[in-house]
A and B are shown apart, each in its own frame.
Chain A
Amino acid sequence: MSLPPKDHLSSTTSDSTKQSSTPSFLGSFLQTIKDIFSDKGVLLLLLIAPIIYGFFYPWPYSTEVVNHVPVGIIDNDNSNLTRTIVRYASASPQLDTQLFLNEQQAKEAMWSDEIAGYMVIPSGLEQQVLSGKAANVSVLGNGGYFLLNKNVQMGFLKAVSTVSAGIEVKKNVAQGAYSATAAANTQAVPLVIIPLYNQTEGYGAYVVPAVSILILQQTLLIATAMLIGTWYEQRRHATSIRGWLGRIAALSMFSFIIGCFYYGWTFELHHYPRGQNMLGSLLFLLLFCPTVATLGCVLGLWFRQRERSMQILIFSSLPMFFVSGYPWPADQLPTVLQIIRWFVPTTPGINTSVQLNQMGASISQVSTGFYALAALWVFYFALLMWVRWHDANKALKTVS
């Protein structure tokens, strides 16, 4: 019987770790780093995957703002007025217009994703406007795609209101008003919108800083649970309290560095708002990473198998993101979920990071997030200690 070559994992099994009853913090810290570097799988997840994701995830959003949305126009009137409307619409940077003969054609184009919406100008529009009757155009956007729909509606709205205001101004001038005052009068209460923080209102600048924290959490969670699961298989998982702290410190250190890489480089590279409160952001990472790593240790002991953490955790990213309160207001969630969501580090994590790094809140303004993370860390660590005690008890029973 020929033995296949043993892989590095089984050969590194060291009885010394298991037997030495109280490994020091530093010893365990260094041993963990050594194990991380000798385990391709863990290294890939802990260090390489989050770096790749730093480039990969913002990739689709590099245009940031949606412009030149293809839209259709059906001009049933074909008058001077409606040609003006068509001209204004095609001049809009938000829209790329094309003409259709009838609604059916436009609808077919919409089904095959050639256009995202269309405007219907009814016949007799000019006549109605000239004779002072109520006149309407219809703008039909695709409600299946929210962001596109908004752009279609806004683009047409601006074009038509400009033409409409022009008519009103002309009428007022005809009635004897000065043209300057008449132009100003068209909107009595204009709205001045000042976007704060994400001033260009870019999509990537909105989503990526939040998702980065999710990526940081998921890669650290999976890597930690994978390492602990591997140790469990090799019966090397048991250690002292100090030993666990050393492990947590070592694992967190890697993610802390990745976090700095995100804050200092990835966001910079994509020109996202960043670094408003750098000290606060670093303090956040100092709390967030160990919290996640501790949860990873608990999960690793629960899963007890090297690959299990990937199987279970890969799909959990999307639901965790949705309950974090960032893309979807948390108070719209069912009440039970509003409570459960606090057991996940990204729940306080994403908001706290964005508030500190993108918005520039002070630490006292995000104190709730800090307290929540600290409480989670204590909770996870207590859980870890309970599992450890439970394990030791079981081992004792089997011996006696």
Chain B
Amino acid sequence: MKLSKAFLRSAAYERRFLTKNPWDFSMVVWIPLATVLLIWWIFSQTQITDLPIGVIDQDNSTIANTAVRYLEASPTLTVKQLYYSEAEAKAAILQRDIYAIVIIPEDFSRHILSGKPAPLILQVNAQYGTHSGIIQTSVQAVAGTLSAGVEIQRLVKQGMAPSQAAIAYSPIGIQRISLFNAATDYQQFLASTVIPALLHILAMVIGATTIGRELRDKRLGHWYRFISTGHPDLTRTTQNESTSGQILNAVENNQYLSKNDQISVSSHANEDMMERANVLVLLFGLLGKYFWPTLAFSIWAILALWLATPQESVAMSSVLATYAGLILLIMLSFWLGAIFTLGSFSLRMGLSATGFISAPSYAFAGVTFPYIAISDSARHWSDALPLTHYLKLHIAQLQMQAPVAVSLPIVYGLAIATTIAMTLTTLLTKRALAHPERWGAR
């Protein structure tokens, strides 16, 4: 009874705060929503097409023209311009007008006719890794098609049947199949994994802020008194807020900085309550405090997974396991943010730690740069990040159609981590309540 009251009171306390502070409200509602949609929108053209390249044709033969035509026909490339000197083409690369030059040497057709290998030369701007990779594969494919054509023609001239010539040219063919995400859809690959990474960052920030602002504004005791006893009642809080609004008349009402006001509140609360803070009341109070962000992020998580689930059949159980994983990741992020803040007694330090850990965590997660290639020492860091594990689950379930059982250990692991983090947050809150002299650090 007392516990459910603590939960409800804390949720009511938080609701009042959020409705009065548009920035904090946005952090919970509008910013994550906008972020999910923005990332999806960024990658809405799911395939990279028409990367601009240049051609230097020193041969000017029919077969060289065919080569240029093949390059132009490749959906990922567009021949932006024909250049007549290498210097000119190089300047275009430096200006990023084009990302590569294909050079057709002057003896190209002569070599082909005389049965010698006639290389094509591709100079590609390898500094732009994505562009370069796609250009290399596409030009390679064009060279392969040209080779096959030349070879088969030669064998046919020698009197072989065309069908037989194709086999003789390449005795063992290779069927290249991309299991899962066969269309190399970047929305599936990047957007669907970046969105959980961003929700993770935002959730850690909210986790740090929700408890951190009570510390900063020296209102932690006030909050605890309210959730455990229902006093001071909410009308009194309003008066406090409006006085602070008058003192700093130029400041918007989302400011909580009237020092005198806070000192009076906290000094009342300090003495008797703090040492005897009940752990269970605190736990339910914290759950109430984080109720609105949890609710909001549960909805954003549905949106994120709805976007990330490809149209082809993904089993309902896989979607549910992924959703459970994402919710746990988000809750774990809330508590982690809170732990860093309560551990350092400072919202700013909590946010710094949050930023340091969560902002680059996508780079360590092994999606864009494979996990197996991450250097050994950095792999320990990668293993310690919850995002790494969640994304493994995400890709296995939503893209690789793995059986749910494969990923359940990750769900259990995240659940255990969340429980531990929640317990730690409660204990750290108790400790913070016992040290009012350290509140207010910026």
- Residues of chain A contacted by B372 (CB below 8 angstroms): 66, 68-70, 116, 148
Q: Please tell me if the beta carbons of B122 and A334 are within 8 angstroms of each other in the complex.
A: no
Q: A111-B396, A144-B399, A317-B359 are in contact. Are A139 and B124 (CB under 8 A)?
A: no
Partner of B126 from the list A41, A195, A360 (CB cut-off 8 Å) is: A195
Q: Are B126 and A197 in contact (CB under 8 A)?
A: yes
Per-position 1/0 for A197-231, Cβ under 8 A of B: 11101010111010100000000000000100010
B129 & A207 in contact (Cβ 8 Å cutoff) = yes
A365 to B120, CA, bound (A): 28
List residues of chain A with CB within 8 A of the CB of B31: 312, 315
The answer to whether B126 touches A4 (Cβ under 8 A) is no
Distance from A205 Cβ to chain B, minimum over Cβ atoms (Å): 8
* A332 lies within 8 A of chain B by Cβ: yes
A66 lies within 8 A of B172 (CB): no
Q: Which residues of chain A from 128 to 148 have any CB-CB distance to chain B below 8 Å in the complex?
A: 129, 132-148
The chain A residue sitting closest to B202, CB to CB, is: A315
Asked if A111 and B403 sit within 8 Å, CB to CB, the answer is yes
> How many residues on B have C-beta within 8 angstroms of the other chain's C-beta atoms?
137
A314 touches B172 (CB 8 A): no
Q: How many angstroms between the C-alpha atoms of A10 and B441 in the bound complex? A: 11
Q: Is the CB of A135 within 8 A of B173?
A: yes
Question: Does B197 sit at the interface, judged by CB under 8 A?
Answer: yes
Cβ contacts under 8 Å, A322 to chain B: 39, 42-43, 190, 194
How many A-B pairs have beta carbons closer than 8 Å: the answer is 365
CB of A188 within 8 A of CB of B126, answer: no
What B residues does A185 contact at CB under 8 A? 115, 117, 151, 154
Return chain A residues, CB-CB under 8 Å to B257: 233
| B170 near A195: Cβ-Cβ < 8 Å | no
Task: Indicate which residue in A108, A139, A307, A337 contacts B348 across the interface (CB closer than 8 Å).
Answer: A307
Task: Assess the A398–B249 pair: CB atoms within 8 A.
Answer: yes
Does A2 belong to the interface (CB within 8 Å)? yes
Q: Known: A4-B263, A190-B117, A195-B124. Contact between A60 and B94, CB under 8 A?
A: no
Provide the A37-69 mask, 1 if CB < 8 A to any CB of B, else 0.
000010011000100110011011111011111
- A125, B264: Cβ atoms under 8 Å? no
Chain A interface size band reads 35 or more
Question: In the assembly, what is the distance between CA of A157 and CA of B254, in Å?
Answer: 62
Whether B311 is near chain A, meaning CB under 8 Å from some CB there, is no
For A181, A191, A226, the residue with the greatest tally of chain B CB atoms inside 10 Å of its CB is A191
Considering only residues 39-64 of chain B, those with a C-beta below 8 Å from chain A are 39, 41-45, 48-51
Contact with B along A326-340 (1 / 0, CB 8 A): 111101111001000
Q: With A145-B395, A181-B115 in contact, do A196 and B93 touch (Cβ < 8 Å)?
A: yes
23 examples of A-B residue contacts, CB within 8 angstroms: A7-B442, A60-B364, A108-B406, A111-B396, A113-B396, A135-B171, A138-B175, A139-B177, A142-B400, A144-B189, A144-B399, A168-B171, A188-B118, A189-B118, A191-B121, A194-B124, A207-B363, A311-B351, A312-B31, A314-B351, A322-B39, A328-B48, A395-B250
- Residues of B at under 8 Å CB distance from A? 23, 27, 31, 35, 38-39, 41-45, 48-51, 67, 91, 93-96, 112, 115-133, 136-137, 139-140, 143, 146-147, 150-151, 154, 164, 166-182, 184, 186, 189-190, 194, 197-198, 201-202, 205, 209, 212, 216, 218, 249-252, 254-255, 257, 259, 263-264, 267, 347-349, 351-352, 354-356, 358-360, 362-364, 366-375, 377-379, 381-382, 392, 395-396, 399-400, 402-403, 406, 436-437, 439-442
User: Which residues of A are in contact with B by a Cβ distance under 8 Å?
Assistant: 1-4, 7, 9-10, 41, 44-45, 49, 52-53, 56-57, 59-63, 65-70, 85, 108, 110-113, 116-117, 125, 129, 132-150, 153, 156-157, 160-161, 163-164, 167-168, 171, 181, 184-185, 187-199, 201, 203, 205-207, 209, 211, 226, 230, 233, 235, 273, 303-308, 310-312, 314-315, 317-319, 322-323, 326-329, 331-334, 337, 351, 354-355, 358-362, 365-366, 394-395, 398
With A62-B375, A198-B129 known, 13 other A-B pairs at CB within 8 A are A41-B352, A66-B372, A108-B406, A113-B392, A116-B370, A132-B168, A188-B151, A189-B118, A191-B121, A196-B125, A196-B127, A303-B23, A312-B27
